[in-house]
Structure 1
């Protein structure tokens, strides 16, 4: 009598499909809302960038998954006013290399002069500059 065995096998296969589907749905949702990938630690990533010689401040840090297994990062990096383009290029290569080991394959960095006076905040606020309530980027 294989009726019970067929039923048990069907239930088992159904549970496996539901479990796999739920995991895929969760991963897809996180990609769609551009959430920080669960396997990445924002503080660790920030530490990787700040550990590169010449980096003073990192702000406006955004990390998200482009697709399953492909993570992206955008950040503003404040450096000394006197650095040359060649020195900044070396820093970019070093940061990209270190971030690739941390699981981030697509990196966009905006380098800024220390004289701009940015605070060491990860998130920038939009504040009204004028009485007509136009918003600008402030630090």
Structure 2
């Protein structure tokens, strides 16, 4: 039952990312032509950003697909971590793209060139619609990968709203600085969000304790039981930001028979059922036993 739900969820995530990928790629090409035609740095910088997004989405789609594969001789936990790799590559691409935008936009602030504001406006309306559709498709996503991708597309929508406002202003006022100013603001905002996401991905990659899990709470719950003398070697990490793994050594108050141990394991698992842990490995020790771990 759980496996089937998981399979459906991954299939759904993969389908969402696929749709977003094709939408983004097609629109990136429109954007490059439009940016050159209107001589708008904001649109060209967004095109670069979108090109990065398209590559990211392609990788996300591939890694999401790969992460559905089962266990192999090489990867005993399966391919769940690969979606995390997708999230990391995405973040790096966006950081490089944002830095490139800033390198071009900052000098333009001091010597802005004229742009076709009306053309920019029409392109911006199209941008809001296309990226908005992709966000709606992805916003219910649960995986770290889908969240990173949704963030990409959401920042695109906001970027286009900014370009739309700027193009309308430029039609009424002689303010060519708006174009490089907006492209700088978009790039800085993107950088800030990517770095935040990168922190989350790095926490998973470096096997940090998932934020939603409390080791202290787990210890307290188990140590409060009469059968338990001590808890040690307690390790929790996450495979991909969703699938959390716990390994734990439990010193028992007496030497229990195998059948009794099985009952205890079942009891402990039930106690930890709501602790956001997907996979638990328990090792029992007798009261006199020295831990070799």
Q: What's the TM-score once normalised by structure 1's chain length?
A: 0.69
User: Match of 1:44?
Assistant: 217
- Number of residue pairs the alignment of both structures matches: 120
The partner residue of 1:70 within 234, 243, 249 is: 243
Check the 8 A contact 2:230/2:252 in 1, yes or no. Answer: yes
Structure 2 segments unaligned to the other structure (5+ residues): 1-169
Higher strand share: 1
Q: Please say if 1:90 is aligned against 2:263.
A: yes
Provide the residue aligned with 1:61 in structure 2. Answer: 234
Report the Cα distance in structure 2 between the residues aligned to 1:13 and 1:113, rounded to whole angstroms: 60
- Partner SS, residue 67 of structure 1: coil
- Separation in structure 2 between the aligned mates of residue 86 and residue 35 of structure 1, nearest angstrom: 35
- For residues 1-139 of structure 1, the aligned pairs below 5 Å read 1=170, 3=176, 6-7=179-180, 9-117=182-290, 137=292
Check 1:6–1:97 CA distance in 2 against 1; reply closer, same or farther (3 A cut): farther
* Structure 1 residue ranges (4+ consecutive) displaced by more than 4 angstroms after TM superposition: 2-9
Query: Relative contact order: is structure 1 or structure 2 higher (C-alpha 8 Å, sep ≥ 6)?
Result: 1
Mean CA deviation greater in 9-18 or 26-35: 9-18
Specify whether residues 45 and 4 from structure 1 end up closer, same or farther in structure 2 by C-alpha distance, changes over 3 A only: farther
Return 9-18 or 86-95, whichever deviates more.
Answer: 9-18
d(CA) in 1 for partners of 2:270 and 2:278? 9
Structure in which a larger fraction of residues adopt helix: 2
Pick closer, same or farther for the CA change 1:8–1:90 going to 2, 3 Å. farther
Q: Compute the RMSD of aligned alpha carbons.
A: 2.5
List runs of 5+ in structure 1 lacking aligned partners: 119-136
Partner of 1:83, secondary structure, is coil
